Amino acid sequence: MKLRFTKSVLINAINIVLKAVPSKSTMPVLECILLDASEGKISMTGNDMRFAIKTTINGTIIEEGKIAINAKLFADIVRSFPDDDEIYIKENDLNISIESGNADFNIMGIDYVEYPDVPDINRSNYVCLSQYSLKEIISQTIFSISSDETVSPQMSGEFFEVYDNRLRLVSLDGHRISMRNLVLRDNYGKVKLIIPGKTMMDISRIIPEDMDNDVYVYYDNNHVLFEYNDTIVLSRLIEGEYYKVDRMISNDYETKVVVNRRSLLSAIERSILLAKESDKKPLIFDIVDGSMEVSMKSYIGSMREDIDIDKTGKDLTIGLNPRFLIDVLRTISDEEVMIYFINSRAPIVIKDDDGLYLYLILPVNIGVK
């Protein structure tokens, strides 16, 4: 094998596939990137057996070949080279030379035959949407997944549901629910997938924010595959049934508040200056006609702030997790938000009239009757 690259192209490809390479594994080959120069093109693959990324790279093939290279070492070497120099990679009998300018590294590779194949799935079932839309809808929901897979595997993933031409993405962690709806260009019937949160997070990080280019989401009973530009991302699905989230959401309410989103977000962001990350102090909302008082008390000090609102229904005092509210308000672009309350012990719902988003947050007990 003998290949030539520019540093920017090579490091970009490495950064993409690194997300599928485990930092430690009982199988050393899984800590590698597979570099494949064959059939007139160059590709790079990371694969941890549950999650795989493969991308095609622009480079010059002087001599074809395949080799598995330790991913971290490879990335560190390439990053160390000057930006303007070309990089040459040569391999012979598992000995790899990586050259740039006057620098020449020699390291050992692993035979490509030991590298696991990326499963090939049937591509007859798919959903298509713009890269921008997928990236956006993931960022608007991903923060509500659970980080603890042992509690519930389903909570560690996102529910990808399609009905005809509508996509709904849902996440929950036992304390909140995030739900976003998107109208698709075509009808796709019924699709229900639970996609691991790590997969969705990595997709949102590596996919370009391109309104004009599409991403195809292929699926079968066990896998989902995202394909865009020259990259594919394949992941196992989470087994089982997702939660009946519609049954958790009530349309009844006793109090409705309409408030300027920026004013509310700014007040909440100020309030958490008094609460460290480990501090679970709730933010207290005291809602009366025309005004909502936001207050926080911690061992550091206290604060209060009044925000103008439009209120219908009963007065109410409720405690809420301020960081949960910040997560929601930062994803909404509307100038005003509508918040629905039942009582001080029931979940609140933030939603729009068009059904594009819905967020549910459980209250924090502050001893209010």
Tell me the CATH architecture of domain 249-361. Answer: Roll (3.10)
From CA 83, how far away is CA 98, in angstroms rounded? Answer: 15
Cα-Cα-Cα-Cα dihedral sign, residues 285, 351, 179, 348? positive
The domains spanning 2-114 and 249-361 adopt the same CATH topology: yes
pLDDT grade for 277, boundaries at 50, 70 and 90: low
Give the length of the chain: 369
pLDDT of residue 317: 96
**Amino acid in the structure at residue 363:** P
Q: For tokens 């229904």, what's the residue?
A: 313
Whether the predicted model's global pTM rises above the 0.75 cut: yes
From CA 32, how far away is CA 146, in angstroms rounded? Answer: 29
pLDDT grade for 149, boundaries at 50, 70 and 90: confident
Per the CB < 8 A criterion, the answer to whether 236 and 20 are in contact is no
Per the CB < 8 A criterion, the answer to whether 57 and 10 are in contact is yes
pLDDT grade for 152, boundaries at 50, 70 and 90: confident
Give the lowest-confidence range in 101-110, 189-198, 324-333, 358-367: 358-367
Instruction: Give me the mean pLDDT over the 208-224 stretch.
Output: 91
Instruction: Give me the mean pLDDT over the 330-348 stretch.
Output: 96
pLDDT of residue 276: 72
pLDDT digits (tens, 9 = 90+) for 97-116: 999 999 999 999 999 999 99
Q: For a pLDDT cut of 70, what percent of the chain falls above it? A: 98
Per the CB < 8 A criterion, the answer to whether 161 and 170 are in contact is yes
Instruction: Give me the mean pLDDT over the 186-212 stretch.
Output: 92
C-alpha closest to that of 218 among 335, 74, 339, 122: 122
Runs of H (alpha helix) within the chain:
7-17, 71-80, 131-139, 197-206, 245-248, 261-271, 322-331
pLDDT of residue 367: 62
pLDDT grade for 368, boundaries at 50, 70 and 90: very low
Q: Residue ranges of the domains in the chain?
A: 2-114, 126-246, 249-361
Angle between helices 197-206 and 131-139 (to 10 degrees): 130
| CATH class of residue range 2-114 | alpha beta
Instruction: Give me the mean pLDDT over the 231-256 stretch.
Output: 95
Cβ contacts of 268-272, under 8 Å, gap ≥ 24:
268/294, 268/322, 268/325, 268/326, 268/329, 269/326, 270/303, 270/305, 271/295, 271/296, 271/303, 271/305, 271/322, 272/296, 272/322, 272/323, 272/326
Give, in degrees to the nearest 5, the angle at Cα 67 between 64 and 70: 145
Q: For tokens 């012990």, what's the residue?
A: 345
The per-residue pLDDT of the chain, averaged, comes to: 94
Give me the CATH code for the 126-246 domain, please. 3.10.150.10
pLDDT over threshold 70, residue 278: no
pLDDT over threshold 90, residue 369: no
